[in-house]
Amino acid sequence: MTELGPVAWPPAPIKTERLVLRESEAQDRAAVIELNASPQVNTYLGGPRAHAELERTVPEVPGQCPGWFVVELDGAMIGTVQLKPHTPERRHNRRLEAGTTELGYLFLPEAWGRGYATEACTAALDWFAGALPGQPVVLYTQTANARSMRLAAKLGFTELERFEAYGAEQWFGVWSSVTPVE
Ligand SMILES: CC(C)(COP(=O)(O)OP(=O)(O)OC[C@H]1O[C@@H](n2cnc3c(N)ncnc32)[C@H](O)[C@@H]1OP(=O)(O)O)[C@@H](O)C(=O)NCCC(=O)NCCS
Q: Would you state the pLDDT for residue 2? A: 44
Q: Would you state the pLDDT for residue 85? A: 86
Q: Would you state the pLDDT for residue 96? A: 67
What domains appear along the chain, each with residue ranges and CATH number? 2-175 (3.40.630.30)
State pLDDT tens for residues 130-176.
999 999 999 999 999 999 999 999 999 999 999 999 999 999 999 99
Strand 7-9 and strand 2-4: the pairing is antiparallel
Q: Would you state the pLDDT for residue 6? A: 77
In short, whether 48's Cβ falls inside 6 Å of ligand 1 is no
Q: Considering only CA atoms, which residue is closest to atom 1 of ligand 1?
A: 148
Residue 153 Cα to ligand 1 middle (Å): 12
State pLDDT tens for residues 109-128.
999 999 999 999 999 999 99
* Residues 36 and 59 sit within 8 Å (Cβ to Cβ): no
Residue 107 Cα to ligand 1 middle (Å): 9
Would you give the distance in Å from CA 36 to the centre of its chain? 14
In short, whether 107's Cβ falls inside 6 Å of ligand 1 is yes
Q: Would you state the pLDDT for residue 127? A: 96
Q: Would you state the pLDDT for residue 99? A: 76
In short, whether 125's Cβ falls inside 6 Å of ligand 1 is no
With a CB cutoff of 8 Å and minimum separation 6, the contacts of 92 are: none
Q: Would you state the pLDDT for residue 115? A: 98
Distance CA 51, CA 41 (A): 14
Q: Would you state the pLDDT for residue 29? A: 98
Q: Would you state the pLDDT for residue 181? A: 62
In short, whether 117's Cβ falls inside 6 Å of ligand 1 is yes
What type of residue sits at position 43? T
pLDDT of 92 higher than 60 = no
Q: What is the mean pLDDT of the chain?
A: 92
In short, whether 115's Cβ falls inside 6 Å of ligand 1 is yes
CA-only gyration radius of the chain, Å: 16
State pLDDT tens for residues 33-86.
999 999 999 999 999 999 999 999 999 999 999 999 999 999 999 999 999 987
Q: Would you state the pLDDT for residue 180? A: 61
Confidence bin at 182 (pLDDT 50/70/90): low
* Residues 54 and 9 sit within 8 Å (Cβ to Cβ): no
Q: Considering only CA atoms, which residue is closest to atom 43 of ligand 1?
A: 106
Q: Considering only CA atoms, which residue is closest to atom 40 of ligand 1?
A: 41
